[in-house]
Amino acid sequence: MAAAARVSTDPTATGLADLRDVAFLTVDPAGSTDLDQALHLERTSTGAVLHYAIADVPAFVAPDGALDAETRRRGQTLYAPDGRIPLHPAVISEDHASLLPGVDRRAYVWRFVLDEGARPTETTITRAIVRSRRQWSYSEAQAAIDAGTAPATLAALPWFGAARAERERERGGASLNLPETRIVTAAEDDAYGLERADGVALEDWNADVSLLTGMAAAQIMIDGRVGILRTMPPAASTDVEEFRSQTVALGLPWTTDVAYGDYLRSLDRSPAALAVREYAAGLFRGAGYATFDGELPEQRSQAAIGAPYAHTTAPLRRVVDRWSLVICHALVNGEEVPGWARASLPILPAIMARSSSIAAQLSSGAIDRVEAALLAGHVGDEFDALVLSRRGDEARIQLMQPAVEARVARVAAAPGTLVRLRLDAASVDEGTVRFSVV
């Protein structure tokens, strides 16, 4: 509470730029309160100007103070079906630092001048006071775009998304766009369920704004020879060849004359194409963080993106982004990188690796138990399932309804085909289900 209370949002008192006249808006999942980003996108005769405001979390966290120590211990916000364990106290993450509509907030504002292909030709970062005009959910924003009633920023996002998709193709990147399994709650009885959906197109366009910013941040830090990158090595040649053979087996061959990203972008939403994407998800492994201060790391690229990349747009939910923000702001504006940021860079990879492991275990454990709960009363029933992948005689399958994934032994069917399964057991306590082929 004290950290929140002492942070002023008065432009005169703070000496920060007053950008409250920029009509920012936010686009997030419905019900979100920890709003890291707000955007304003304006088309011009030569392309566009993009303002991207990122919550000024460093203003609330004193280096080497108690809150700094606790956020380093937590690493990131953890999400569970019945709540979350926030990285920062709610008074900061859901109130004073969150870019909520209709209130003045501090932010690092990235300004990109874009050409007609949405390539940045000029980048600046300004610490400022901003005010978001409205908080949109993905579904209502997409509906407004489709109906032609969206404000200018939202109306420009289809152009931006298409242009950035073309830039991804040029640099050899690839987006899998796998359907996401989400735990949902029925409001009338607080029961949990599973939803597996592709989402709306706007989610990809909005993510492209964050991706552009993360790529810009990485290049700024590389040029300044100090910072932290999100890295991933290229896929092993043996894995690429195995994947190519699987595409042939699935009837959707990836030929040698087609780039990997172009191939993935050509896939439809058929069961066979879903199985291909599932295999593709296993191609790239070894994601991590690389810090540097002087000598650049050997591995600087994020292979799936096809360029250097840095986490920098979610400081309310991820501790590493706070470092990226203060380092990039200093480098762009010709200032000294804060000593606390430089000195503590080496500890960040371990912090993020540990917290990411916990987050993954929590997410998968929660989904496993909801899956078991949904099926607990149906032992003995039969279900249709899609074979996603197979190793030996064990297959990973997805039920057509409900959206449950599981591993099943003694499956002879090929990936991309349907099988009939019987549910033999379901344990909510253990988060396990067991099926057999009918």
Model confidence over 24-68: pLDDT tens digits?
Answer: 999 999 999 999 999 999 999 999 999 999 999 999 999 999 999
187 band by pLDDT with thresholds 50, 70 and 90: low
The CA-CA-CA angle for residues 288, 291, 297, to 5°, reads: 90
pLDDT at position 188 over 70: no
Helices (H), 108-174: 138-147, 152-171
> What does the pLDDT read at residue 265?
87
The pLDDT value given to residue 2 = 67
Residue 3 has pLDDT above 70, yes or no: no
- Phi then psi for residue 392, to 5 deg, are 65, -130
**Paired strand residues for 187:** none
Distances (CA, A) of 137 to 32, 102, 231, 268: 9, 16, 30, 26
How far apart (Å, rounded) are the C-alpha atoms in residues 112 and 324?
17
334 close to 224: Cβ distance less than 8 angstroms: no
Higher pLDDT, 356 or 282: 356
Cβ atoms of 16 and 112 closer than 8 Å:
no
Strands 17-18 and 104-115: unpaired
Q: What is the mean pLDDT of the chain?
A: 93
What is the rounded CA–CA span in Å between residue 425 and residue 251? 34
Domains identified in the chain and CATH numbers: 2-234+284-337 (no CATH), 237-281 (no CATH), 370-437 (2.40.50.140)
pLDDT (tens digit per residue) in 417-427: 899 999 999 99
The residue whose two tokens read 């599973």 is: 194
Q: Which residues are CB-contacts of 372 (< 8 A; sequence separation ≥ 6)? A: 426, 427, 428, 430, 431, 432, 433
In whole angstroms, what separates CA 105 from the centre of its chain? 23
The per-residue pLDDT for 202 is: 95
Q: What is the pLDDT of residues 194-208, one digit of tens each?
A: 777 778 899 999 999
Q: How many CB atoms lie within 10 A of CB 355?
A: 21
pLDDT tens figures, 310-342: 999 999 999 999 999 999 999 999 999 999 999
Identify the band that residue 135 occupies on the pLDDT scale cut at 50, 70 and 90.
very high
pLDDT of residue 181: 74
Going by pLDDT thresholds of 50, 70 and 90, the confidence category of residue 189 is low
Closest residue by Cα to residue 140 from 226, 29, 266, 224: 29
Q: How many CB atoms lie within 10 A of CB 101?
A: 16
Q: What is the pLDDT of residue 130?
A: 98
Percent of the chain whose pLDDT exceeds 70: 97
Residue 271 pLDDT level (bands cut at 50, 70, 90):
confident
Indicate whether 4 pLDDT > 80: no
pLDDT at residue 268 tops 90: no
Cα 245 to Cα 134, 153, 304, 414, distances in angstroms: 49, 43, 20, 13
- pLDDT value of residue 417: 87
Cα–Cα distance, 8 to 199 (Å, whole number): 38
Read off the pLDDT of residues 80-127 as tens digits, 9 standing for 90 and up: 887 889 999 999 999 999 999 999 999 999 999 999 999 999 999 999
Q: What is the pLDDT of residues 212-251, one digit of tens each?
A: 999 999 999 999 999 999 999 998 888 888 888 888 888 8
Q: What angle do CA 274, 275, 276 make, to 5 degrees?
A: 90
Per-residue pLDDT at 34:
96
Instruction: Report pTM.
Output: 0.91
CB of 41 closer than 8 Å to CB of 157? yes
Single-letter amino acid code for the residue at 355: S
